[in-house]
Amino acid sequence: MKNVVNQLKALGETNRFRICMMLLEKPLCVCELLSVLDIAGGTLSNHLKILRHAHLVDQRKEGKWVVCHIADEGAEKLIRFAASCMTDTEITDDDHDRICCSSRELCSVTKSPE
């Protein structure tokens, strides 16, 4: 029971819920999540740590990318259940549209010095 309570607490923050909703669509690298959420890298790192500790999200290294994905089938079921309770989907619909057009290759592009 404690595990489910911790998972629900982790999902109780807007950006963490958005991360999980995006990861239901497909595994995403950290830079893709950053581009959609428009938050600082340290903030995203903290959110991912909380989601990992709650056993909702896991990460793996793929070449130069750190790819995040839903941890397991139980986590997926819980997230889908939480999503089914939503009445306002405008933000998650927008996130969905943005990740459908994302590409990890864009993460490799470095900004020119100003």
The CATH number for 67's domain is 1.10.10.10
103 domain residue, yes or no: no
Q: What's the pLDDT tens digit per position in 59-111?
A: 999 998 899 999 999 999 999 999 999 888 888 888 887 877 666 665 654 44
Per-residue pLDDT at 88: 84
Q: Which residue shows structure tokens 């990890």?
A: 104
Nearest Cα to Cα of residue 18 among 72, 68, 73, 74:
68
Per-residue pLDDT at 105: 61
Bridge-partner residues for 29, per DSSP? 67
User: pTM for the full model?
Assistant: 0.85
Instruction: State the total domains in the chain.
Output: 1
Q: What's the pLDDT tens digit per position in 14-30?
A: 999 999 999 999 999 99
104 domain residue, yes or no: no
Span 42-61, mean pLDDT? 97
